[in-house]
Structures are given as structure tokens and as C-alpha cells.
Amino acid sequence: MLIQPEELSVRQMYAYMVGMITPRPIAWVSTIGPTGVTNLAPFSFFNGVSAKPAALCFSAVNNRDGSPKDTIRNIEATGQFVVNVVPAELVEVMNQTSFEYPPDQSEIDSIGIEVVPSQLVRPPRVKASPIQIECQLIQVVKVGEGPAAGNLVVGQILLAHVDDAVLNPAGEIDPSLVDAVGRMGAADYCWTRQTFARPRPESA
């Protein structure tokens, strides 16, 4: 089968993309708007960018009417966000935050999610998340325009809070203790409970 984006509707192409690019980590992004309304939403177009500066990225596509999502509006207004990692036990509440609440309604307050203040940025952190990453905006790269166009947010990691409970005796982050979930195609998720190691080759 060949997939040619020009021959497909946005919905069809999106469905193929989320099936092609798997598994995807999930950034559960907290922001705060100019009037102080907090916002929390998941994004699986998410990954690392560089180690120096320590930077990550995620992409929020525009709404069906072509307007940017609240997360993008808030980040463009304030330059700050927090990425919270999603362990399996938080999947239901994370999914609930993907409901499109109006901009003046906080997912955090509406659902009753416990948050704690960040140290270097104004958006709060999700208390139950084992890894919370405070970020400062570097750049929003606009990819296209109108409905479903991308807003690739590149952010510098200012400070990461890692729960000591997910560290191994060597002080490294143990994925089996984080128990992060990933996003697959359609409405599917995956666990990260079966891992394997392959050291990088030392010669060709």
C-alpha cells in the first residue's frame, strides 16, 4: 500500500500517521494563561531535541476552526510550560484532560487534579507524576497554517523533578519504576513493562 497525503482527507492522513509513528511518549503539558487560568493537556507528538542546551519538543495541531489550542496560546503568551510524565495509573485522568474545555475553564480545577508549585516557572506540576520537567520556550515552529497545522514547541529544560522512588541504587531513572505509558494508533496505548537492553556496537 502507498500512502499519499494529497489524496487523503486530514482525518485519514492523521489516522495513518498515528499508526505509522509508534510508540509515542506522552507529554502531559501544564501551562497558565495570561489571566491566570491553568491548563493541562496531553500531547504524543513529543520527543527530546538536544542535550546542550537540554531541550525537548512537542507539537499541538490547530483546532478544526484553525485556531491554536489553549496550550499554544498560553505558551506563546507566557513562554513557560511543564511536561509531566504519565505513569499507567494516571492514564484515565490524563485522558480526561484531553477533553476540549473552553479557554477560561481549567482542566486542573474542573477535574480536581492535585498540583504543586514549580520552582522556576509559573505553571504548576502534577503532583502524582513521577517526573515533572520545567521548561522555558525557545521557539514555536509553525508548520503550515489553518486547521490541523502544526505548532512545534521547542523548550529548554530548566529543572526536572524526579521522584526518588523511580531511581535505581545507582541513581539512574528505572523505567520499570516510572511505568510510563505510550500512545499507539487509534485509541490504543502501550505499557513500557517489557524492556530489553542492547548496548551500542563498539565496531562496524
Q: Considering CB under 6 A, how many residues would be counted as binding ligand FMN?
A: 17
Q: Are 23 and 190 in contact (CB under 8 A)?
A: yes
167 touches 185 (CB < 8 A): no
Regarding 85 and contact with ligand FMN (CB under 6 A), the answer is no
What lies within 8 Å, CB to CB, of 16 at 6+ separation is 3, 8
Contact 137, 163 (CB under 8 A): no
Q: Are strands 54-61 and 80-84 parallel, antiparallel or unpaired?
A: unpaired
DSSP structure class, residue 98: T
Q: Is there binding between residue 183 and ligand FMN (CB under 6 A)?
A: yes
Q: Can you tell me which of 61, 85, 178, 180 binds ligand FMN, judged by CB under 6 A?
A: 61
Which of 30, 39, 106, 129 lies at the binding interface for ligand FMN (CB under 6 A)?
Answer: 39
The residue within the footprint of ligand FMN, chosen from 78, 95, 136, 156 (CB under 6 A), is 95
Q: Is 45 in the site for ligand FMN (CB under 6 A)?
A: yes
Cell of 62: 490547530
Stretch that binds ligand FMN, among 39-47, 75-83, 110-118, 193-201 (CB under 6 A): 39-47
For the bound state, the minimum distance from the C-beta of residue 3 to ligand FMN, rounded and expressed in Å, comes to 19
Please identify which residue in 70, 124, 125, 134 interacts with ligand FMN, judged by CB under 6 A.
70
Does 60 bind ligand FMN (CB under 6 A)? Our answer is: yes
Query: Per rule CB under 6 A, is residue 26 in the interface with ligand FMN?
Result: yes
With binding defined as CB under 6 A, does residue 30 bind ligand FMN? no
Name the 3-class secondary structure at 10. helix
Nearer to ligand FMN, 59 or 84 (CB): 59
Q: CA separation (Å) from 108 to 104, 178, 190?
A: 12, 22, 25
